[in-house]
Chain A
């Protein structure tokens, strides 16, 4: 029963998201969906495995460029492009993950940033013959219309991204409840005890790293397909902290945190840059306040209140499936 109830919650949340489409302009809604997927990977790393990565744009760029290369040079099918982006994400994160997850947490964060910078310059200068440097690759006209959901049209792309976000969210929900999820949490909280139980903390971290960054690569491939354009700007170091900021803003380790955070962040960025033209100030001040308030984030603060209002049942008596860390 408990499981059913939480699946119901997930469906309700995404029904609400679909409703957003009515109120919000389409590009904005699409941006939110892709950004949510982007943040979910970071959220899993940060909230479940305790690895903070300042280099998520690196994996975003891997996915985006893999999809872009395929769509620019070889094919026209957007679905296949996204699939190739995912594959590239798996390959790259397996290769670098094996080196990175051994490092201490603080070094891990910095090394990922370094990877983002390397990929940035790789795409901007070193591989400029293939990537066209700062001009980027434009392939919007290359996209052929695909069956079922035509990804070259923004309104159908929204339905697709909503479904993908739902699938990713459900997948992470499933992971949270599985033994693997528990192991990840143990790797975050007490690594020694995890080893004592006979699990390899390296293996668990590596798998978690690959899962999270494949999600990020998926988001990158979707960006590429949606915009029909990729430039090195996507892995720019100055945007390195975006997913971390959104994760914290939404609430670390919560299921819906990334979505709430993405809506809040994208919305604020849009609104503030239109009204004041100075979004950094607000975001920065907000970030400091969210951190000082106790790392719970928007959703982490709202969730208990919502539960109280909706169920009126004493919270402590029921098994809490969503938050856990």
Chain B
């Protein structure tokens, strides 16, 4: 059997990984639910967030300032992309937005390569302290990531359930035409959603930066995992996204403890299985209007 200490650190590792997945895919999921676009450019904002974090933390020596900066720039980039590109393609077919956002993604990667070059950049870990859980030393920073992801989930939940804009967004996911009929400007909702999504992706990039090397391809490398998380959870469902990102994080982390090559493949096998049983994912709505 697996060593106990290894198991605990594996679970924490999986949870922190799942938190990063969650922060990225919540944007994908929200954008799909409300606007019916598949916004692959979230992975660009993730990469941008990581690079901004790198630059700011290099300049000021404070990672958290960098993460905030990455979040702000991610949100701004999301806003710009929505105004310039997505505004023009809401009416089109869903696969259309997928290709367009892929264009934004690789174009943005080109811009990043232009500014920062190809060399992977290291970001120092801000918290050196090891925290003792059941006799196992866990890097404190990973716990911080998990806490932040849970706070974001609570924040999003409060936003969607307790504020009028959030309620309008939720109603829009159900039936956009009725929301429009109530006199609410849905295009403003779209913009707000995009800014939130971009900001959260930027946050994910900033938080992930100290754990990995920051390089231009990091977003594209995560693309398959991001897809997988939204498919397992069901496109458009926040709760599903949370559940499936932690599920995928655990499968990747624990799978690599059992048999290393399994770690990359197992989540995809699980995804195929789930799709065959429930073609719309765990929490996806079976009916798609529009």
Contacts and interface: CB of A to CB of B under 8 A. Distances in A.
B50 to A, nearest CB: 17
B224 A237 contact: yes
Interface in A103-121: 103-107, 109-111, 113-115, 117-118, 121
A107 B231 contact: yes
B9 interface: no
A284 B104 contact: yes
Nearest to A118: B268
Interface in B84-112: 85, 88-89, 92, 94-96, 98-100, 102-111
Interface centre among B104, B107, B109 (most CB of A within 10 A): B107
A283 B99 contact: no
B227 A126 contact: no
Given A283-B106, A284-B110, A291 B261 contact: no
B131 interface: no
B110 A110 contact: no
A105 B110 contact: no
Nearest to A51: B95
A124 to B, nearest CB: 8
B113 A113 contact: no
Contacts, number: 135
Name the prevailing secondary structure of the B interface residues: helix
Contacts of B132: none
Interface in A20-37: none
A291 B105 CA distance: 14
A237 B235 contact: no
Contacts of A285: 103, 107, 110
A144 interface: no
Interface in A260-306: 278-288, 291-292, 295
How many chain B residues sit at the interface, stated as a range, is: 35 or more
Contact of B106 (A126, A248, A284): A284
A237 B267 CA distance: 15
A323 to B, nearest CB: 18
Contact of B268 (A99, A114, A283): A114
Interface string B209-235: 000000001001101100110110001
B223 A237 contact: yes
A167 interface: no
A245 interface: yes
A292 B280 contact: no
B35 to A, nearest CB: 13
B2 interface: no
Given A125-B264, A126-B261, A114 B271 contact: yes
Interface of A: 52, 54, 99, 102-107, 109-111, 113-115, 117-118, 121-122, 125-126, 128, 237-238, 240-241, 244-245, 248, 278-288, 291-292, 295
Given A106-B94, A115-B272, 14 more contacts: A105-B95, A106-B98, A109-B98, A117-B224, A122-B265, A126-B261, A241-B102, A283-B103, A283-B110, A284-B103, A284-B110, A286-B103, A288-B100, A288-B107
Which 4 pairs across A and B sit closest by C-beta, in order of nearness?
A284-B107, A281-B110, A287-B103, A125-B261
